[in-house]
Amino acid sequence: MLPERHLSWQAVAAQLHRQAVRLAIALGPRNRGVLLYLKHVCSRYECEPLNRGDCLEFRKDSRSILLPEKHFAHASTIARYFDVFFDAVQCDVSEGRSIVDYSKPRLHTCKSLGLQFELAGFSERSDVVEGYLRGVHTGSR
């Protein structure tokens, strides 16, 4: 006979969450249920995700961050740290909306340094970029 296993409700909830994440990843961000879940998660941070077809848009007030669909698993991180990712680089303005586009590799200008970088994903915080450059300038690793 197998020993009885007692799991706490936290352990059960964590296991259910892992299974739900696996299912959401398998279904993808175009699935209505997945998009509804993303909206729920992002609403905690007053951020709204929209699927634009070619990418995901995360809206907060009159600002937007664009991400490729394949990065939809980062939705809660983008929503929670929206200001960090938005303020790291200079934005474009379109139809009265300030937009930072991380949906495809492109040239971005780091606000704090005025330097341009080609980014294939979302940006690091400005202080982290400055730290990288100090290390390059001094020759340290």
100-136, pLDDT tens digit by residue? Answer: 999 999 998 888 888 888 877 777 667 777 777 676 5
pLDDT higher for 138 or 38? 38
Residue 9 lies in a domain: no
Compute the distance between CA of residue 46 and CA of residue 82 in angstroms, rounded to an integer.
10
Predicted TM-score (pTM) of this structure: 0.79
Compute the distance between CA of residue 57 and CA of residue 103 in angstroms, rounded to an integer.
9
DSSP-assigned beta bridge partners for residue 64: 59, 99
Least confident of 13-17, 19-23, 72-76, 114-118: 114-118
pLDDT higher for 47 or 122? 47
Position 5 confidence tier, pLDDT thresholds 50, 70, 90: low
66-84, pLDDT tens digit by residue? Answer: 999 988 989 999 999 999 9
Q: Hey, what are 46's tokens? A: 């007053």
Residue 104 lies in a domain: yes
Looking at the predicted structure, is the pLDDT value of residue 45 above 60? yes
Residue 71 lies in a domain: yes
Domain count, the chain: 1
Residue 77 lies in a domain: yes
Q: What is the mean pLDDT of residues 95-99?
A: 95
Residue 4 lies in a domain: no
Residue 103 belongs to what domain range? Answer: 35-138
Residue 55 lies in a domain: yes
Residue 28 lies in a domain: no
**Contact (CB, 8 A) for 112 and 95:** no
**Size of the chain, expressed as the number of residues it contains:** 141
Compute the distance between CA of residue 6 and CA of residue 44 in angstroms, rounded to an integer.
32
**Residue 107, H or E segment:** strand 106-109
Residue 129 lies in a domain: yes
